[in-house]
Structure 1
Amino acid sequence: MLMMPFHLQLRTGLLLFLACKVLAAPTSRSVSPSITLDNGTFEGTTDGVSNRFLGIPFAKPPTGDLRFRLPVPNDAYTGSHSVIAFGPACPQQGSSASSAESEDCLTLNVWAPANATSSDKLPVVAWIYGGGFEFGSTNPYDGAVIVNRSVALSEPVIYVSMNYRVTAFGFLASKEVKEAGVGNIGLQDQRQALRWIQKYIKAFGGDPRKVTIWGESAGAISVALHMVANKGNNEGLFRGAFMDSGSPIPVGDITNGQQDYDALVQETGCSGAADTLECLRQVPFDTLNSAISQSPSIGSFQSLRLTWLPRADGKFITNNPQILVKQGFVSPVPFVTGDCDDEGTEFAMPSLNITTDAETRDYFKTFFVPNASESQLDRLLTLYPSNITQGSPFDTGDLNAITPQFKRIAAFLGDFVFQAPRRFFLRERAGKQNTWSFLSKRLKSTPNTGSFHGSELLNAYGGGDLTDYVVNFINHLDPNGAGPEISWPKYDAKSPSPQLLTFLDGAVPEALTPDTFREEAINLAIILNFEDPE
């Protein structure tokens, strides 16, 4: 039996906790709520505070000839539909087909205050899940946590979450894909869900002019990419953005995925086809899914050097996101962005066989900074030393040193993929649009992983203080307001000590701290990110 990678064990445990909250949510014995969309009637469930409508299709099934194509809007709804259960997840990287997964997966979910009417014009949040662009689904994120808290704060909101295609089904990349104009399908699925919100959310009591997009990990990176897509033109689909553990990362050109595309073509028997992309559309699902599963995943040795991810396609994402940010092609909406203190610990687990300085140097060079000069590599290894007291989990001294190099690699990965892009984004945009930033240092005592990637979800979906900041931002484009006692200042990139709202363990749960940690190291990571786009 294959053992689940450690980072997936952590995330699975976290999601199971959230799932228990969904399953434990009380359902009222009152009349089931119903909504009319076009000529269709959709019957959901209620807990008395919020109504939920689960598994509503927002695009035609991306199967058959629609596989590896941009999402196609639904025809007008007709008939009666019971929408009381999440739709199946899109096919996941490395998994066998099951009833919980299906290519026919483009559904979304809506939670609304139980007393909302079509005339209310409530603000809306659209949630985009994470999972390394390889796995994930809307189940088990419980929108009732957000909506019910918003009602308690007298700041009611509507919550929407959407499935989107992941792994190669959503992020196939090659010259063939670029020429066909079908790059970044997973992002386009998200965009189609946002268009659905514009068309239909009024029926639930929402205001299509007041949509905030919110995501975590790959979902947060997706939010950032929507901000730079279409050269910053958001098509009026959202007015605010909230990012947990994800920023505009350097993804490179879509043709950089050619090697993995060619391997997929070879594995599926499409090598001799005149049109390999069309051949892939016709391959039986099990054959295709098995071939995709042979590609390296986020749990493999290369870790965060992802195989399937968004890339610059020349049309939707017109250039490397870092370059678009530099050029000012950013949707000028208010945004919040933040990270956990030990973002890299989960992702260092696949490289536990690295135990020497030389092996670490080779690992960094091979997978993350292939264009770095020898002097830059020397500097990088100096700034991320093998001294275990300096590594991640940070501030844990001699503890958590699984191998002599683990904490060093974890520190680098967390900064290179999360902290450096966040700080770069804020330096470029703070002052040009309203921005706030946070750092989560909670759960620091978690063995080996500390304040691990995704741990802030417990704060947001476990009914913590982050929930209140999110609700305030959805309503007022400012995280301050009802609930929180501490005033969260805007990020000031011109200040020598820009302020972060920091979530802490212990008697003092929040504090303002300077965003100056590991400044020299993160500055080098920013340089290497910008100069080394792939």
Structure 2
Amino acid sequence: MFGIVAAAVTCLCHVQASFGSPTIKAPTVQLDRATFTGVNSGNVSQFLGIPYAQPPVGNLRFQQPLAHPPYHGYYNVTAFGPSCIQQSAAISIPYNVSPIALEVIGGVFGNTTNPPVNDDEDCLTLNVIKPTGVPAHTKLPVAVVRGFETGQSSDPSTDGGAIVQRSLDIGHPIIYVSLNYRTLGFLPGKEVKEARVGNLGLRDQREALRWLQKYIAAFGGDPKKVTIWGQSAGAISVSLQMLTNGGHNEGLFRAGFMQSGSPAPVGPTTASQPVYDAFVANAGCSHSRDTLQCLREVPVAKIRAAMNASPSIFSFDSLDLAWGPRVDGDFLKDDPQKLVSQGSVSTVPFVSGDCDDEGTLFSLSNANLTTDSEVQAYLSEFYVKNMANATEVEELLKLYPSDPTQGSPFDTGLQDAITPQYKRLAAIQGDIVFQAPRRFFLQHRSSKQPTWSYLSKRGKANPALGAYHGTDIPEIYGGADLGDYFIRFVSTLNPNGKTGIPWPKYTHSSPQLLTLLDGSTPLLITNDTYRAAGFNYLTQLSLEDPL
């Protein structure tokens, strides 16, 4: 569920007829001294499972990624590569959820666990999907799918071919690139910091962006017109790629598009030492003098089991992630929100948006909390755990009361209150990780670079979940209006065009949102001023006590 990063390389040619018809011959591309053979599907050519870095196996496990050596020979790239090793996303659904809500939740989670069908350590591959017949000199755009906790570039719900086809239909052809990166690459701990191997998943992404600079022109893409795009953890990844290196992006991208994710309030990697220690113990390395080296040498089955033994995003810990980015003093030198305040941000145009009910999915597994005191204790343990007293939590609970008419799913009255505290927790968790950081980011950057923002309220009829986290993904892949805005932004750095209503820039004095609605008025411009007191207080708490 956490996941998409997309890089987009924009088209200079807007004539579909130039490269719209499929050819019988399989498409090929030359990279270094190698020939890569892909597959055609209608108006789209696909090159799948291309290795972009050396396999992180053996002694390269838990090491920074190394560039792939020059290619030689022949590569048949007609199938997705394996996904990276990741946790099984199990969730305990509370007994008191209505049968209709259970049906909706079952549609989201399947049988409540969705481990990848095919995973492997040798997983650092990417996929290039482009209009058929694009000459190498054409100079077009790109997109990428992954997450901190779950996800894979071959996910059928994120069909890059559909985006490429839609880009042809509206006269803004782009190239779509999806990539795998190590979710296992977010191991925290002082040992990780000292070895400078923190945030390896983000470093994998950076290596893939360098690969694009070197090779995307061979596919007809323009390396100077790359837009990084992501959903959830992918969106947070986009924001952190904008913040690292003092904001200098090395020319790797020219824009960012973030769906449900902004610079999240995360603390030092050493503060999560218990996660590392437990992982080491579960992998059988506790008695080693060099625990990191031991982790590189144990069988991969032990690594997978140790990861599954740690809390997942759908465990009771919820959005206090065991596997996520941390301040390592190297890739991330400070709390991302402090980096934003310091101006350590790449000055590229960006879009950042949210779904209205970001927290509902992540509040099901702690729906057994039913009293004020239980919620207060929970927040103190997971979200404001370093505070000296309970005053801050008490103030937070005043701003987010247990009144279900004020909770999430928002604007649903007394409905969806599956427990006395569920909607309250959903509001707090959605705002502290998603909504408040988005507004903070936009308010600090909208005067320094072109910015746009949206709010998706579509899907309010989903029982218990409302417009939940991820419901805007089909808006991009399904050829809906947000998808057209996205394609035009990738192509021209301006989301506006022939379809949809005018989408104004977001400014500090006029913080306007493109709001996506169900019903006869699908699009509306609204103001980003809701829950201001709650957002401001959550931001204050986050700066004092990051996750």
Q: TM-score, normalised by structure 1?
A: 0.92
Q: How much has 1:234 moved relative to structure 2? A: 0.8
Map 1:424-439; keep pairs closer than 5 Å: 424-439=440-455
Distance 1:139 1:378 in 2: 45
Per-residue Cα deviation, 1:447-503 (whole angstroms, up to 9, x for no partner)? 11000000000111111111111111111111112x4231111111123xx110001
Distance 1:270 1:449 in 2: 41
Q: How much has 1:98 moved relative to structure 2? A: 7.3
Match of residue 382 from structure 2: 367
Match of residue 515 from structure 2: 502
Letter in 1 for 2:232: S
Q: How much has 1:510 moved relative to structure 2? A: 0.4
Map 1:19-418; keep pairs closer than 5 Å: 30-94=24-88, 100-122=118-140, 124-130=141-147, 133-140=148-155, 141-166=158-183, 169-372=184-387, 373-418=389-434
What is the RMSD of the two structures over their aligned residues, measured on CA atoms?
A: 1.7
Letter in 1 for 2:79: A
Distance 2:172 2:178 in 1: 19
Native 8 Å contact 1:128 1:222 kept in 2: no
Match of residue 93 from structure 2: none
Per-residue Cα deviation, 1:250-305 (whole angstroms, up to 9, x for no partner)? 11111122111111222222222221111110011111211221111111101000
Q: How much has 1:47 moved relative to structure 2? A: 2.2
Native 8 Å contact 1:125 1:214 kept in 2: no
Per-residue Cα deviation, 1:325-356 (whole angstroms, up to 9, x for no partner)? 00000000000000000000000001111111
Distance 1:29 1:203 in 2: 18
Q: How much has 1:78 moved relative to structure 2? A: 1.6
Letter in 1 for 2:123: C
State which of 481, 494, 499 in structure 2 corresponds to 1:478.
Answer: 494
Match of residue 528 from structure 2: 515
SS at match of 2:309: coil
Letter in 1 for 2:364: M
Distance 1:297 1:264 in 2: 13
Letter in 2 for 1:173: P
Which ranges of structure 1 fall in alignment gaps of 5 or more residues? 1-6, 12-26
Q: How much has 1:319 moved relative to structure 2? A: 1.0
Distance 1:524 1:118 in 2: 52
Native 8 Å contact 1:248 1:321 kept in 2: yes
Q: How much has 1:134 moved relative to structure 2? A: 1.4
Q: How much has 1:28 moved relative to structure 2? A: 5.8
Q: How much has 1:99 moved relative to structure 2? A: 6.1
Distance 2:331 2:421 in 1: 40
Distance 1:405 1:269 in 2: 39
Change (3 A) 1:500 1:264: same
Distance 1:99 1:487 in 2: 42
SS at match of 2:363: helix
Distance 1:485 1:28 in 2: 30
SS at match of 2:45: strand
Native 8 Å contact 2:351 2:451 kept in 1: yes
Match of residue 422 from structure 1: 438
Per-residue Cα deviation, 1:204-262 (whole angstroms, up to 9, x for no partner)? 10000100000000000000000001111111100000000000011111112211111
Which ranges of structure 2 fall in alignment gaps of 5 or more residues? 4-20, 90-113
Distance 2:423 2:408 in 1: 5
Q: TM-score, normalised by structure 2?
A: 0.89
Distance 1:29 1:359 in 2: 63
Per-residue Cα deviation, 1:45-98 (whole angstroms, up to 9, x for no partner)? 122312111111111111101100111111111222221111111011138997
SS at match of 2:368: coil
